[in-house]
A = this chain, B = another copy of it.
Amino acid sequence: MIVAVDAAGGDYYPQNPVAGALLALQENDELTVLLIGPEAIINKELATHEYDKNRVLVYNAPEIIGMEESPSTAVKAKKNSSIVIGNSLIKVGKCQAFVSAGNTGALLAASTFILGKLEGVIRPTIGALYPTVKGFRLLVDAGANLEIKPEMAIQFAKMGKIFCREVLGIDSPKVGLLNVGEEEGKGTETLKEIYPALQASVSNFIGNVEGKDIMHGKADVFVCDGLVGNLILKFGESIPEILMMLIGKTIREANISQEDALKIQQVIASATASFNYENVGGIPFLGVNGVSLVGHGSSTPKAIKNMIHKAIQTYTQDVNGKIIASLN
């Protein structure tokens, strides 16, 4: 099994992708990693580590696509970037999967363009793994498709269920439609059309779910359009930082002892540990003809390692074969 790792993507390259890839090697004897990016910086970083040289390959990709670059322009212009090369190497069978903490839009564009769509897929999608009191659950679409139609919603629900079952290990995933109220007939005209479509075509559809149901994990797959998914994702991601900022300020202003401050921070860290994105690492583009995953720009080595494990699972569980079977 060869997993390609984008060593020029994310906020902390090459350090974090390289360290994460080497961590993954230690946990999986069958694995070989292929580090993609500017050769010189990868080799310099590798020189600071001890590792099994037979299981680490380097592929030179001198061009770099920045986090803020316009996706389609960058993918067209930079054929020698890690993002374009990573997907191309899947296409020609040089690796079984590609993982990156880089520019999500560019990754989606490159994987859709280079790998193509799975048979029967209308539009590939990217979900978000959302922390709930029951563990991570899937919000799909998370920004790839800002407006959706009933047929797309059905496919997102089906692909999301397969990912939840095969990779997250959720036995019989429930599908909910994010809406302003529980009753059928609520919402925009589009949502009123999507509800009966999901009811007719998706097993385990539990109906509409509301914003307050997300963190309670009322559904396993929350279906929404990419505008809603993106706004909720980014809003949710801002909360821990805001919370720690306010708690830090309170601790300073209230003259709390260092010892007590430590206890408080430990309790909060422990209470929110299950929300730690590092444990899931990344998520595949669903509907593309290959295994291509994306993680947070700020991915730590541990997050990269877990994204590699998720990629292996997505491949060995044949998520894509099961998606084709469910859609056709």
Contacts and interface: CB of A to CB of B under 8 A. Distances in A.
Given A214-B235, A216-B242, A234-B212, A180 B143 contact: yes
Contacts of A274: 246
A93 to B, nearest CB: 35
B238 A235 contact: no
A188 B231 CA distance: 13
Contacts of A235: 211-212, 214-215, 232, 235-236
Chain A interface: which size bin? 35 or more
Interface in A254-279: 254, 256, 260, 263-264, 267-268, 270-272, 274
A270 B228 CA distance: 31
Interface in A105-142: 133
Contacts of A227: 179-180, 187-188, 191, 228
Most buried by B among A187, A238, A242, A256: A242
Given A180-B227, A232-B231, A264-B267, A211 B188 contact: no
Secondary structure dominating the interface of A: helix
A133 B180 contact: no
Contacts of A147: 188-189
A309 B307 CA distance: 53
Contacts of A231: 178, 180, 210-211, 224, 228, 231-232
27 contacts: A143-B180, A146-B187, A146-B188, A147-B189, A178-B231, A179-B227, A187-B227, A188-B227, A191-B227, A210-B234, A211-B237, A211-B238, A212-B235, A213-B238, A216-B242, A224-B231, A227-B228, A231-B231, A235-B235, A243-B272, A246-B271, A246-B274, A249-B271, A251-B267, A254-B267, A254-B270, A264-B267
The 4 closest A-B pairs by CB, nearest first: A211-B234, A211-B235, A246-B271, A250-B271
Interface of A: 133, 143, 146-147, 178-180, 187-189, 191, 210-216, 224, 226-228, 230-239, 242-243, 245-247, 249-251, 254, 256, 260, 263-264, 267-268, 270-272, 274
